[in-house]
């Protein structure tokens, strides 16, 4: 960069650079990176657009832009992602929460009456965005969060402390329901399992394909490996009238609904659509 680089100029430069590289949200990315690099809010940027940047600030912004050019997810660069009503810490090794997953939170809250104790287990807790959002909304609820990843469990613990719900979040390492005691039962099972068909992984956006954890993406040959296990194993972990809610990929709701019905363990199975009208969550209620 040459002399007299202002906030306004660096925003325009970064936006154009990202646009040329085919990034999907160049202006938003530029705003988030510049705000992060300067320690400002996005609103704060626009209150001081003509402030010149010093050499240290310019060097820091160059580094951030270089990382984004390599398709490193914005959430990893700035260290957080806003989800539902809260800000969640994220870092490499943890799936970045998606807006469509908020549909799972909304649907799950319908099974958690305010003021009534309810036990929730989340399989594949990741950053904790789903389960901790439920705890933040329901003060009487408790969570067991399970994940195979040490990084995921560390990040979830950090987020639980930040949200003030750590005393109601019991985090355990393991595969699906394996860390649970034989007699543990729950009112609610929630999960956003890996559901991308393996052959489609290489076609994903580089932000996802090259940076997010493959463990949280790869759903096996048809994307339904974990869904099969969840449909089969969840009934033994639910109280009568308890429910399992799982996120599904585009055009997977019918297949996952069939998997749940085939078990014969649920009295009701239905799909819930996201804000875009795509069936996104399969809900089954234990008989």
Segment 197-223, tens digit of pLDDT? 999 999 999 999 999 999 999 999 999
Residues 68/18, Cβ–Cβ less than 8 Å:
yes
Q: Domain residues of the chain, as ranges? A: 7-70, 95-286
Per-chain mean pLDDT for the chain: 96
Q: Are 7-70 and 95-286 equal in CATH topology?
A: no
> Residue 218 has what DSSP assignment?
B
Give the model's pLDDT for residue 24.
87
Give the model's pLDDT for residue 4.
83
Q: What would the pLDDT profile of 31-69 be if each residue is shown by its tens digit?
A: 999 999 999 999 999 998 999 999 999 999 999 999 999
Q: What would the pLDDT profile of 174-195 be if each residue is shown by its tens digit?
A: 999 999 999 999 999 999 999 9
The sign one gets for the Cα dihedral 34, 39, 41, 47 is negative
Share of the chain above pLDDT 70, in %: 99
Give the model's pLDDT for residue 157.
99
**Would strands 266-273 and 279-286 be described as parallel, antiparallel, or unpaired?**
antiparallel
Q: What would the pLDDT profile of 121-157 be if each residue is shown by its tens digit?
A: 999 999 999 999 999 999 999 999 999 999 999 999 9
Give the model's pLDDT for residue 169.
98
Mean pLDDT of 232-258: 97
List Cβ neighbours of 177 (8 Å cut-off, separation of 6 or more): 121, 123, 146, 233, 234, 236, 237
Mean pLDDT of 234-259: 97
Give the model's pLDDT for residue 3.
63
Token pair, residue 81, equals: 């992602």
Calpha distance 111→28 (Å, rounded): 35
- The length of the chain in residues reads 287
Calpha distance 190→96 (Å, rounded): 17
* Helix, strand or coil, per DSSP, at residue 137: helix
Chain centre to alpha carbon of residue 252? 19
Give the model's pLDDT for residue 283.
98
Q: Does CATH number 3.40.50.150 belong to domain 95-286? A: yes
pLDDT tier at 1, thresholds 50, 70, 90: very low
Residues 123/132, Cβ–Cβ less than 8 Å:
no
Its CATH architecture, for the domain 7-70, is Orthogonal Bundle (1.10)
Q: What would the pLDDT profile of 108-121 be if each residue is shown by its tens digit?
A: 999 999 999 999 99
Dmax (CA) of the chain: 70
């Amino acid at each position: 960069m040459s002399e007299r680089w202002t906030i306004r100029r660096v925003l325009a430069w970064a936006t154009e650079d990202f646009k040329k590289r085919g990034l999907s949200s160049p202006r938003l990315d530029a705003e988030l990176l510049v705000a992060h690099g300067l320690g400002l809010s996005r609103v704060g940027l626009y209150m001081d657009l003509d402030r010149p940047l010093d050499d240290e600030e310019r060097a820091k912004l160059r580094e951030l832009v270089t990382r984004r050019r390599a398709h490193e997810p914005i959430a990893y660069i700035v260290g957080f992602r806003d989800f539902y009503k809260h800000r969640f810490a994220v870092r490499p090794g943890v799936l970045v929460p998606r807006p469509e997953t908020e549909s799972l939170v909304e649907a799950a809250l319908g099974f958690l009456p305010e003021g009534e104790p309810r036990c929730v287990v989340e399989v594949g807790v990741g950053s904790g965005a789903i389960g901790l959002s439920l705890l933040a909304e329901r003060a009487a609820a408790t969570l067991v969060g399970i994940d195979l990843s040490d990084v995921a469990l560390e990040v979830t613990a950090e987020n639980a402390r930040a949200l003030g719900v750590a005393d109601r979040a019991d985090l355990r390492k393991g595969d699906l329901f394996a860390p649970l005691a034989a007699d543990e039962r729950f009112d609610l099972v929630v999960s956003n399992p890996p559901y991308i068909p393996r052959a489609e992984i290489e076609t994903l956006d580089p932000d996802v394909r090259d940076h997010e954890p493959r463990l949280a993406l790869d759903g096996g040959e048809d994307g339904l490996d974990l869904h099969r296990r969840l449909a089969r194993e969840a009934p033994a972990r639910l109280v009568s009238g308890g429910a399992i809610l799982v996120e599904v990929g585009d055009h997977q709701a019918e297949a996952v609904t069939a998997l749940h019905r085939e078990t014969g363990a649920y009295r009701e199975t239905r799909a819930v659509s996201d804000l875009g009208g795509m069936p996104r969550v399969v809900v089954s209620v234990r008989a």
